[in-house]
Every structure is written in structure tokens, then in C-alpha cells.
Structure 1
Amino acid sequence: MDMDYVLSMLDSLLRIPSPTGYTDEIVHFCGRELKRLGIPFELTRRGAIRADIKGRLNSPDRAIVAHVDTLGAQVKGLKSNGRLELVAIGTWSARFAEGARCTIFTDHGSYRGTILPLKASGHTYNEEIDTQPVAWTNLEVRVDAICSNTADLIRHGFNVGDFVAIDPQPEFQPDGFINSRHLDDKAGVAVLFGAAKAVIDAGVTLPVDCHLLLTISEEVGSGASSVLHGDVAEMVSIDNATPAPGQNSRESGVTVAMADSTGPFDYHLTHKLLDLCSDHDIRHQRDIFRYYRCDSAAAIEAGNDIRTALVCFGVDSSHGYERTHVHALRSLAELVALYMQSDVTFERDRHAMGPLKGFPHQKTEPAEAAG
């Protein structure tokens, strides 16, 4: 695995603003990189990407998905004090927006700014700055332009609905830690590119067609709802895990999700991935996420009858100022590359409807006692 490539891709991806709804530039960047790697691809009308690595068989084929969109905000209103009211894009706490530097994209160009609580000066408000509520209605953007009132904002071209991108502030540390906003899911996108490059560089012929999907609206729930096609029988999502008290995720190895807020992932596909980790000495752990959904949920809710699974890199402080480790990215990239080269989970899945014969079993026999 070329980890220099993975980290270089991650750095480039992080530096391209891409809040949900404002993803065109990162789509162009990913398209150029797919061209450079020689991987053919197509775009949906809104810009989701489906790239295709041909295998020996074209059905039942598989997909691996990551999302290029991030959390962000939009201008909710132009305030009489010359500042901007905000509404969040995606689900994230206003606590993590306070103090963030940002870029506001107007119809005529971009401006820089800072997201501040309404009471931001201790010299003025004293202890009141510590007791004001944490809420998006308690924030405003101080734009880096001479704006003292609503008329000034209008004169500079600000409008309700302008997109606001939060600075990532990436730090790649020598010990392998990576701190940045938007590791969710740009680290997953970098991992997907790294795994694809490894397979191509090795000259491997895959057993079945593999589709690399890059979605543009995962943070608002629609994700992989429209980029699949009917031949896909199984899909693995790449996203972040959540190391925290009460969770089994870590910032090392691969975290294999057994379920999220929408329910369990496919038993057989999930255990196939667990077996790949065990067979190839990839450190891993299992976890369940109670307040979390991914591209797989959007695909199922859109009516796709496919097996889905979720594999993750651990991210501390998810949807905040995030941190992961290069160990997790390497392990996950290795697993994804191995999955691409593995046999399809069930050849029977090439048929959308079929007889009972050949349908798999789940284990029901008593376990042997350890001794």
C-alpha cells in the first residue's frame, strides 16, 4: 500500500471546500485523479461518481462507496449588525463551530470570516460568555469585509443561502496522528483511491466488476440512493468509527460495524470482511453505532435489494475537530484492496429473485465449549 499516496490524496482532498450542496470542485478533482489512474467513470446529474474496474465476470458485481461531501453551514439571514446568521448543513454541534475560520461563497466570489458566539468578548460580557447557550441560533459570522449593517452586507453581495465552508486546519504529525476537520469522510475517499491504485499497480485482474462510488450528499442522508445500478449485489461503505466511552472503536486497525441506527448490516458480507481481516493479520475490532447512518442506509431506503456492510477508520471527536491515525488508514486500505480481489460472497446473488436452493444459512448449532 502506497501510504505516501494515500496521505497526499487526503491532504489535497481536505484543502478543497465541499460542504454538501457545494461539491462540484471536489468532483472535478476526483475525476481528474481517476483519469490519471486510468479508471473509467461516469457522473450522475448532480455529480456523484461511479468508476468501474473491470473483472473477469460482470455479475454479480460489487461496489465500494465513500462520500466527498462534508459538514458545513448556510447563511440563514443578514443581520442588522453586519454579520451573518447561520444554519447547519448536516448534523453537528454549534459547540464545534465556535471560533472556526470559514469561507463564505457568494454569487460573485468568496469572503473569509470567523464563526463567533453572539457574546464573544470577555472584556465586554465578562462571565456571560460562559453561560450563553450552545446553539446555532447563538452564532454569527464576522465577515472579513467592512460591514456594519444589512445594507453593507447586501452591497458586498451576501445573500440568504450562501454556502459556508469550515476550514479543515489539517495537521499530519510525525508519529502518525492526523488532526483535521472533515476526516469524515475524506480519509475514506483517500483510502478508496489508495486501495484502487494498489490493485491497478499490481496488475491484478479482479474476479468480478468493482464499482468505486463517490457520493455527494451523505451528510444530509441521501448518499448512495441514486448512483447504483441493478447488477450490484453487495456494497461496502467506508466511513468513520467513533472511539469514545461505551464504544469499541479505536484509532488503529479496522473497525467493522455490525449495526448502526438503521439496523444490522448484512451478516454474510460483514463476516466475509471479518474473515479477510483474520486471514491476513489485519488488526480489527467490531462495534455498533447508535446515532449514526451511512451511505448503505440511503441505498437500501432507495429500494436497492443488496447486501451492505460498513468498514471504518477510527475518528476521535467525530463531527468535531477530528483525529485519526495512519495505522487505521493503512489497515483499512489493505482490507478494501483484499475485498476487491476476493470472490463474490454468493454467486446466487446475480439474480434479483431466485429459488430457495443455494440461499445461505446462518449458524444455529450450539457452540463447542472452550477447554
Structure 2
Amino acid sequence: MNTYPDTKETMALIKELTEIPSPSGDTEKIIKFIENLIRDWGYEIKRTRKGGLLISARGSDDTRHRFLTGHVDTLGAMVKEVKSNGRLKLSRIGGFNWNSAEGEYCEIHTSTGKVYTGTILMHQTSVHVYKNAGEAKRDDDNIEVRIDEKVENEKEVRELGIEVGDFVSFDPRPVITESGFIKSRHLDDKASVAILLRLLKQIKDEHITLPYTTHVLISNNEEIGYGGNSNIPEETVEYIAVDMGALGDGQSSDEYTVSICAKDSSGPYHYGLRRHLIDLAKENGIAYKVDIYPYYGSDASAAISAGHDIIHGLLGPGIESSHAFERTHETSILNTEKLLYAYVQSKMVTL
């Protein structure tokens, strides 16, 4: 086990995925993109009723299965109200603070398929007009979208076809730097999805027969809590969510290693599986960190909450400034690729 997916190609795929709008609830375009990408790779592919994508590789042992997830749904918003001044009030999709989206360019996706651009702003933005521009609360009442169309009232906005319930996506602005960083919105969790897709391509290209039948679920409702809690075959023993490691004060994870989660807001992850991942990292010279995420939940914890009798784990690249202006480094991507490559070819945890 000494070859891994090409990290430069993974980074390019991450950038491509981030550029496809996919707020939770409006993920058809990106799911179709992935479906077309992998169509000729020889895997069993199934659309779930919730709109996700289940990719299956038959292994030597078809009586015990492994299950990996990564999610393509992202943070975003929905039109809550068309205001009398021709601007839009928003309702948030997913858990983020408005200050992290203030000033961002966005797109309004209408039910007719027409897309309009705009900017997310405070109502009291101009310091030349509003004395309290800096102190006003960043909340649902004060944040609004300035549409890039000649509209001055509610009637003119509705004539464009913009209505309550239309999805609003945020401009990801992905950049890959010469120093090896990728910075973009929505690296949570499109970085992990790209890693999983590249892993599937590597398995195909190297004609690897996995020891156990292994499923990869591209889930599409994780940001709202229930992306990976269904379509889990009864034979599944081990379930790993591939998702970001959250960085900040008191955290051990960084942008250069693979993060292995010991515990999040749902409680501890399976200790035996965590030890197995750590042992694989040590055996293969993979740089890793073990961490606890106090305000975090994953598709794996959602599956446990749904009552599935599985062993669950969580690993992924370290993502700086999660749910805001995210960034990671190619070495974190590489270490995550290495660990997953070793894991899918390893023996299961002994129960």
C-alpha cells in the first residue's frame, strides 16, 4: 500500500465541486455532476429517495460491509420575504453566523430556473447614513440581499420571478495558492467528497479487490442533520463519516494532518475503530491528530441516533474557520487520502 490518489488532482476536483451551488435542499445539480463523473468506473450506483448517491464496490467478503460518507450539501439560505424596498430577507440553511456571510456575493435560484446575482448586506451598511452601522445586530431582521437588477419595490422583484422559498447560494471564491493551500467556502464537506471520489478512482485504476464490500454514500442533507442516517445495508458493520476536523482554541487538529475524532456533541465514537485508525496511521507513516469537537455532529452520529447497530468513526482533513472562510492545506488532503487508502484495504475491527 504505497500509492495514493494524486493530491493536485484532488485539489482541482475540490475547487470544481465548490463552484457548483448546492445548499441543503437544492443538491440535484451536484449529485448529477458526480453521477456523470463516476458513471464509467464500474461501480454499482443508486440514487436514494432523499436525493443522495450510493456507490458500492463488491469485496471478497460480502457478508460484512463497510460504509463511508461525505456530504455535498452546504450552508446557504432561502428567501423568507420580498421586502417593500426591493430587497430580500433570508432564512438560514445550516448553522452559521450572519457575520460570516455579510458582504458576500450570492445567487438567487428561482423555481423557473432563472438565476439572479446579489450581495448579502446589512440594511444599515452605509456609514454615511447609519450612525450605528458598526453596532447594529447581524441577525435575520437586519441582513438582506441587494439584487443586481433594477428593482425598487416588491412588485418589481416578483416580476423577475423571485419568490419566497427560492434558494440562495453563497459565492465560494475558491483559490489554490502556490504554497499548497485551498481556501474556499464549502470545503465542509466538498474536500472530503473529492477525496472519496479520488479513492474510488484509485481503486478502479489499480484493480484493487477490497476485503469487504464497501459503500460510499454522497449524502445531501448533513448540514440539517439527517444526510447519512438511511440507505445503510443491514450487513454494514463499520461506518465512517469523512468530514472536516474543526480548528480553533483548545483543538489539537491542524491544516496539515488528518483529524481523527474521539468525541463530538453526540458522544464518543467507537473506541476500537478509533484505535484501528490510529494504528493504521502509525504503521503507514501518516501524520494525524486526535481531537474532540464540542459543537459538531456528523452523518455517522446521525446514523447512530437513527438506531443503526454499527461501529462508527469520523476522520477528515483539518479545516480552518469552519462554516465561514474555510481553508486547508494539500498535506492534510494527502494524509486523509493515505489513511482512507489504508483503511479500506485493512481488516475489520475485531468485535
For Structure 1 versus Structure 2, the TM-score category normalised by the shorter chain is over 0.9
Q: Name the residue aligned to 1:36.
A: 40
Q: Name the residue aligned to 1:351.
A: none
**Aligned with 1:139 (options 137, 143, 163):** 143
**Aligned with 2:105 (options 101, 106, 109):** 101
Aligned residue for 1:328, secondary structure, equals helix
TM-score (norm 1): 0.91
**Aligned with 2:87 (options 74, 83, 89):** 83
Q: Distance in 1 between matches of 2:189 and 2:262?
A: 19
Please state how far the C-alpha of 1:279 moved relative to its aligned partner: 0.4
Deviations 1:234-282 (A, max 9, x none): 1111111112111111001111000000000001111111110000000
Q: Name the residue aligned to 2:214.
A: 210
Deviates more, 1:198-207 or 1:325-334: 198-207
Q: Specify the code of the residue in structure 2 equivalent to 1:66.
A: G
Q: Distance in 1 between matches of 2:276 and 2:37?
A: 30
Q: Name the residue aligned to 1:236.
A: 240
Please state how far the C-alpha of 1:298 moved relative to its aligned partner: 1.2
1:188-203 matches, cutoff 5 A: 188-203=192-207
1:220 maps onto 2:220 in alignment: no
1:1-371 matches, cutoff 5 A: 1-108=5-112, 109-126=114-131, 128-346=132-350, 360=351
Structure 2: runs of 5+ lacking an equivalent: none
Structure 1: runs of 5+ lacking an equivalent: 347-359, 361-371
Report if the CA contact (8 A) 1:49-1:227 is conserved. Answer: no
Report if the CA contact (8 A) 1:56-1:208 is conserved. Answer: yes
Please state how far the C-alpha of 1:15 moved relative to its aligned partner: 0.9
Q: Give the aligned CA root-mean-square deviation in angstroms.
A: 1.0
Q: Percent identity?
A: 38
Q: Specify the code of the residue in structure 1 equivalent to 2:258.
A: V
Aligned residue for 1:225, secondary structure, equals coil
Q: Distance in 1 between matches of 2:28 and 2:313?
A: 28
Report if the CA contact (8 A) 1:238-1:310 is conserved. Answer: yes
Q: Distance in 2 between matches of 1:184 and 1:136?
A: 23
Aligned residue for 1:234, secondary structure, equals strand
Please state how far the C-alpha of 1:18 moved relative to its aligned partner: 0.2
Report if the CA contact (8 A) 2:11-2:182 is conserved. Answer: no
The structure carrying a bigger helix percent of its residues is 1
| Rg (Cα) greater in structure | 1
Q: Specify the code of the residue in structure 2 equivalent to 1:341.
A: Q
Please state how far the C-alpha of 1:144 moved relative to its aligned partner: 0.9
Q: Distance in 2 between matches of 1:257 and 1:225?
A: 19
Aligned pair count? 346
Please state how far the C-alpha of 1:8 moved relative to its aligned partner: 2.1
